[in-house]
Amino acid sequence: MSESVTQTLHLARSLVLQKKYESCIKIFGDIKTKRNLYPDELHYYGRALLELGDTERAISALKGAETCSEPHWALYFLGNALKSSGRAAEALATWHQAMNYARDDLNFVRHLSEKYIGVLAEHAIGDVEKLALSGIVSILDHYGRRLDCQNHLALKIADQTSALEMRLNRSLDEIKRVSFDALATLHGLKNPLPAPFALRASAEVAIDSNDHMFPRGTASDNTRHPRFVARCEELYPDELTALDLGCAGGGLVYDFVSRGHRALGLEGSDFSKRDQRACWRILPDHLKTCDITQEFIISDNGKQATFQFKIICAWEVLEHIPEIKISGLLDNVQRHLAPDGYFIASIAQFEDADPESEITWHLTLRPKDWWLAEFKKLGLIEVDSPFAVDDYVRGSGNPSASDWDVRKAPQHGFHVVVQKK
Quick one: 291 and 371 in the same domain? yes
Task: Say if 113 falls within a structural domain.
Answer: yes
Query: Do 419 and 374 contact (CB within 8 A), yes or no?
Result: no
- Largest Cα–Cα distance of the chain, in whole Å? 91
Query: Do 313 and 242 contact (CB within 8 A), yes or no?
Result: yes
Quick one: 311 and 401 in the same domain? yes
Task: Say if 130 falls within a structural domain.
Answer: no
CA end-to-end span of the chain, whole Å?
Answer: 33
Quick one: 405 and 278 in the same domain? yes
* Domain stops at, among 123, 148, 164: 123
Task: Say if 183 falls within a structural domain.
Answer: no
Three-class SS state of 175? helix
Quick one: 250 and 352 in the same domain? yes
Quick one: 295 and 410 in the same domain? yes
- State the SS3 of the chain: CCHHHHHHHHHHHHHHHCCCHHHHHHHHHHHHCCCCCCHHHHHHHHHHHHHCCCHHHHHHHHHCCCCCCCHHHHHHHHHHHHHHCCCHHHHHHHHHHHHHHCCCCHHHHHHHHHHHHHHHHHHCCCHHHHHHHHHHHHHHHHHHHHHHHHHHHHHHHHHHHHHHHHHHHHHHHHHHHHHHHHHHHHHHHHCCCCCCEEEEECCCCCCCCHHHHCCCHHHHCCCCCHHHHHHHHHHCCCCCEEEEECCCCCHHHHHHHCCCCEEEEEECCCHHHHHCCCCCCCCCCCEEECCCCCCEEEEECCCCCECCEEEEEEECCHHHCCHHHHHHHHHHHHHHEEEEEEEEEEEECCCCEECCCCEECCCCCCCHHHHHHHHHHCCEEECCCCCCHHHCCCCECCCCCCCCECCCCHHHEEEEEEEEC
**Hey, which residues does 265 pair with through a beta bridge?**
244, 287
Task: Say if 182 falls within a structural domain.
Answer: no
In the prediction, which pLDDT does 176 show?
A: 64
Quick one: 203 and 117 in the same domain? no
Which CATH number belongs to the domain containing residue 260 in this structure? 3.40.50.150
Task: Say if 180 falls within a structural domain.
Answer: no
Quick one: 367 and 262 in the same domain? yes
Structural element, H or E, at residue 298? strand 296-300
Quick one: 284 and 388 in the same domain? yes
Task: Say if 364 falls within a structural domain.
Answer: yes
* Domain stops at, among 123, 156, 177: 123
Q: Which amino acid is at 279?
A: C
The reported pTM is 0.60
Quick one: 77 and 198 in the same domain? no
- Total of domains in the chain: 2
Quick one: 248 and 390 in the same domain? yes
Task: Say if 409 falls within a structural domain.
Answer: yes
Which CATH number belongs to the domain containing residue 116 in this structure? 1.25.40.10
In the prediction, which pLDDT does 322 show?
A: 92
Quick one: 108 and 208 in the same domain? no
pLDDT in single tens digits along all 421 residues of the chain: 566 777 777 787 878 778 888 888 888 888 888 888 888 888 889 888 988 989 999 899 889 888 888 888 888 889 888 888 888 888 888 887 887 777 666 667 666 777 776 676 666 555 555 555 555 655 555 566 666 666 666 767 766 776 667 667 656 665 665 566 566 556 554 567 889 999 999 999 988 888 888 888 888 888 889 899 999 999 999 999 999 999 999 999 999 998 889 999 999 999 999 988 888 988 999 999 999 999 999 998 767 689 999 999 999 999 999 999 999 999 999 999 999 999 999 999 988 887 777 788 898 899 999 999 999 999 999 999 999 999 999 999 887 777 889 999 899 999 999 999 8
Query: Which residue range forms the structural domain that includes residue 31?
Result: 3-123
* Domain stops at, among 61, 92, 123: 123
Task: Say if 168 falls within a structural domain.
Answer: no
Quick one: 113 and 212 in the same domain? no
